[in-house]
């Protein structure tokens, strides 16, 4: 079974194809721009596969840059509709959480900037995603991470988080190479979330938290 | 395969999809309006517009196909607005269209929204006789152009600042008429006397427009005259706008020999503009070509019809966003 993975929330667009959980194309291996359609055609060309063979789409729904997230989600929804299949939505925090948990075996705090000093804050611990929070870092994190001795931090607030916890061991890691492998390795567990038209995947926005 | 194109338009706040054939017959046209979302802001809020497009676009595509009674296999191509417009809104339409094209194995052509509007007058019926002078007046655009034929277009002049539709909406808000203010200003103006000497900007002999000064003049007048008769303010404002539009249009028609005069864009629905244009055309012996009101505002059918022009000329613009596009461009 061919699975398509799309992650456009972070700076580098990732488009991946996998067969039976095995990665067979990763756009990160190529000089690629942010034209998601061109990446899709490149993936099909390099793997000599037909788009009709795609039976599952896993799409990162953010949080992240609004235009970037929309690009990936619109493309995923449109392709799923055209192929009469569904989209399995997954948050960027879940992807980074799994990636960095597997890399460091430590809880993971991921952040994304939002408006007016607010941030989205993701917390991945004990192999599972905890509810995402939205607000000011210095008001949310002290409670969220109080019980931890050490954790990984990803995102633009590393310095602020280090300043909040001078006595804890904090590993800074913004290297998200490996997202494509994470999507393929875990796509089966996200299959149950599949949204098929008339249900569609929607980007995570601050509206979910206000 | 039928000679049908799916047109997708998401440049601003309406999600619009249509199925059209090469003769301009509209097999289906569906518009998902966001009017209620933006009414509270008194204008289009770009971030919310993009969010609604994501929610609305596939149901709108689905409905357009259903109403047309066709399958994706029946389509020749997909035309999608590539600009000008709001970036978030454009991205949703473009990436959805790109994906549909890959999944259905159909070419996807990026279309200049302005060229779509120009072709709106030929939807369902051939109304335009070439060469033609065009006045495009909408919430996003105000310009005069000259068309030798469907595709050979020369820009004569455009607005230096606000568009006509934008100024109508803003004056509507000043008069407490809600959003969109244009139709309400038109209605209110009919009940008043045009007795306030608002400025007629850029009345010298060129094709450029400028409406922001007029908008400010209305605002200043209302601030200085809290007891003003609002119907008179509306009538005076509308008369000022009409005088500018008619004078520039007359100049364009005289200097650019035209068989027809075409008015497109949302403000083409304005009853007073229609009356003034009819008088102007009668005086000059030019045919007036007005699209039905439903094709004046943003719609997918005009994008689909323009896509046929692109195919005919072998022009294939990729479905990537362009925030700024001149009417001369494809």
Sorted by where each starts, the structural domains of chain B and their CATH numbers stand as: 4-119+295-313 (3.30.420.40), 128-290 (3.30.420.40)
Residue B187, pLDDT > 90, answer yes
pLDDT of residue A23: 97
CB contact at 8 A, B166 and B182: no
Structure tokens at B232: 């008179």
Q: Which residues of A touch B72 (CB under 8 A)?
A: 82
A130-176 pLDDT, tens digit per residue, is 999 999 999 999 999 999 999 999 999 999 999 999 999 999 999 99
Residue whose C-alpha is closest to residue B293's, from B271, B272, B313? B271
Q: How far apart are alpha carbons B148 and B280 in whole angstroms?
A: 21
Q: Which residues of B touch A51 (CB under 8 A)?
A: 102-103, 105
ipTM of this complex prediction, to 2 decimal places: 0.96
B216-229 pLDDT, tens digit per residue, is 999 999 999 999 99
B216–chain A Cβ distance below 8 A for any pair: no
Confidence category of residue A88, pLDDT binned at 50, 70, 90: very high
CB contact at 8 A, A171 and A152: yes
B19-52 pLDDT, tens digit per residue, is 999 999 999 999 998 888 888 787 788 999 999 9
B193-209 pLDDT, tens digit per residue, is 999 999 998 988 799 99
Whole-number average pLDDT of chain B: 94
CB contact at 8 A, A23 and A2: no
pLDDT of residue B251: 96
B316–chain A Cβ distance below 8 A for any pair: no
3-state secondary structure of B5: strand
Residue A210, pLDDT > 80, answer no
Q: Which residues of A touch B101 (CB under 8 A)?
A: 37
Q: Which residues of A touch B54 (CB under 8 A)?
A: 70, 73-74, 77, 200, 202-203
Whole-number average pLDDT of chain A: 94
CA atoms within 13 A on the CB side of B163: 18
Confidence category of residue B100, pLDDT binned at 50, 70, 90: very high
Residue whose C-alpha is closest to residue A204's, from A96, A57, A68, A98? A68
Please name the residue ranges forming H helices in B69-211: 87-104, 113-119, 164-174, 182-189
Q: How far apart are alpha carbons B239 and B198 in whole angstroms?
A: 9
Confidence category of residue B1, pLDDT binned at 50, 70, 90: low
Q: Are A37 and B96 within 8 A, CB to CB?
A: no
3-state secondary structure of B81: strand
Q: Which helix (H) or strand (E) holds B56?
A: helix B46-68
Residue B94, pLDDT > 90, answer yes
pLDDT of residue B172: 94
* Domains present along chain A, CATH in parentheses: 2-91+176-208 (3.30.420.40), 92-172 (3.30.420.40)
pLDDT of residue B178: 83
B280-310 pLDDT, tens digit per residue, is 999 999 999 998 888 988 999 999 999 999 9
Residue A33, pLDDT > 80, answer no
- Tokens 């098929």 locate to A196
Q: Which of A71, A77, A83 sits opposite B58 (nearest CB)?
A: A77
B183–chain A Cβ distance below 8 A for any pair: no
Q: B244 Cβ partners below 8 Å, 6+ apart?
A: B200, B201, B202, B203, B209, B211
Q: Which of A83, A197, A205 sits opposite B51 (nearest CB)?
A: A205
Chain A interface disruption, residue of B37, B56, B58, most A CBs within 10 A: B58
Residue whose C-alpha is closest to residue B180's, from B85, B42, B305? B42
Q: Which of B62, B96, B103 sits opposite A74 (nearest CB)?
A: B96
Residue A127, pLDDT > 60, answer yes
Interface residue ranges in chain A relative to chain B, Cβ cutoff 8 Å: 35-37, 40-41, 51, 66-67, 70-71, 73-79, 81-83, 197-198, 200, 202-203, 205
Q: How far apart are alpha carbons B8 and B329 in whole angstroms?
A: 19
B144-166 pLDDT, tens digit per residue, is 999 999 889 999 999 999 999 99
Peptide bond into A42 cis (omega under 30): no
């Amino acid at each position: 079974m061919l699975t398509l993975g799309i992650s456009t929330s972070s700076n580098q667009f990732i488009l991946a194809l996998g067969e039976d959980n095995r990665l067979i194309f990763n756009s990160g291996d190529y000089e690629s721009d942010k034209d998601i359609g061109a990446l899709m055609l490149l993936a099909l060309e390099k793997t000599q596969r037909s788009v009709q063979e795609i039976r599952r789409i896993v799409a990162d729904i953010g949080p992240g840059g609004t235009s970037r997230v929309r690009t990936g989600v619109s493309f995923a929804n449109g392709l799923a509709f055209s192929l009469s299949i569904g989209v399995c939505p997954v948050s960027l925090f879940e992807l980074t959480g799994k990636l960095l948990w597997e890399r460091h075996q430590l809880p993971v705090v991921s952040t994304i900037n939002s408006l007016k000093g607010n941030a989205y804050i993701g917390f991945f611990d004990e192999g599972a995603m905890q509810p995402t929070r939205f607000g000011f870092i210095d008001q949310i994190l002290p409670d969220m991470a109080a019980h931890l001795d050490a954790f990984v931090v990803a995102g633009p607030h590393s310095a602020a988080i280090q300043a909040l916890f001078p006595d804890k061991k904090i590993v800074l890691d913004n290297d998200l190479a490996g997202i494509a492998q994470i999507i393929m390795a875990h796509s089966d567990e996200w299959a149950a979330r599949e949204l098929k038209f008339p249900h569609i995947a929607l980007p995570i926005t601050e509206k979910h938290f206000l | 395969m039928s000679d049908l194109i799916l047109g997708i338009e998401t440049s601003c706040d309406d999600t619009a999809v249509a199925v059209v054939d090469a003769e301009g017959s509209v097999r289906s046209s569906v518009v998902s309006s966001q009017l209620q979302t933006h009414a509270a802001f008194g204008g289009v809020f770009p971030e919310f517009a993009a969010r609604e497009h994501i929610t609305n676009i596939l149901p709108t595509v689905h409905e357009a196909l259903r109403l047309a009674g066709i399958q994706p296999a029946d389509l020749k191509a997909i035309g999608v607005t590539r600009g000008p417009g709001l970036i978030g809104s454009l991205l949703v339409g473009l990436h959805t269209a790109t994906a549909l094209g890959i999944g259905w194995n159909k070419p996807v052509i990026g279309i200049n929204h302005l060229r779509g509007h120009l072709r709106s007058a030929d939807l369902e019926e051939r109304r335009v006789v070439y060469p033609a002078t065009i006045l495009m007046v909408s919430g996003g655009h105000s310009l005069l152009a000259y068309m030798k034929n469907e595709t050979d277009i020369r820009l004569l002049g455009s607005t230096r600042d606000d568009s006509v539709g934008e100024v109508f909406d803003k004056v509507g808000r000043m008069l407490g008429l809600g959003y969109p203010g244009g139709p309400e200003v038109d209605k209110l103006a009919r009940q008043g006397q045009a007795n306030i000497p608002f400025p007629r900007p850029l009345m010298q002999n060129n094709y450029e427009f400028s409406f922001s000064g007029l908008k400010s003049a209305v605002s200043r007048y209302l601030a200085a005259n809290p007891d003003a008769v609002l119907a008179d303010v509306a009538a005076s404002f509308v008369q000022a706008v009409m005088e500018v539009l008619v004078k520039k249009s007359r100049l364009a028609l005289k200097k650019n020999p035209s068989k027809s005069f075409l008015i497109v864009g949302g403000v083409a629905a304005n009853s007073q503009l229609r009356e003034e244009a009819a008088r102007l055309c009668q005086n000059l012996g030019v045919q007036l070509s007005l699209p039905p009101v439903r094709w004046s505002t943003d719609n997918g059918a005009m994008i689909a019809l323009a896509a046929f022009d692109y195919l005919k000329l072998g022009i294939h613009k990729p479905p990537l966003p362009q925030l700024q596009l001149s009417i001369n461009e494809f």
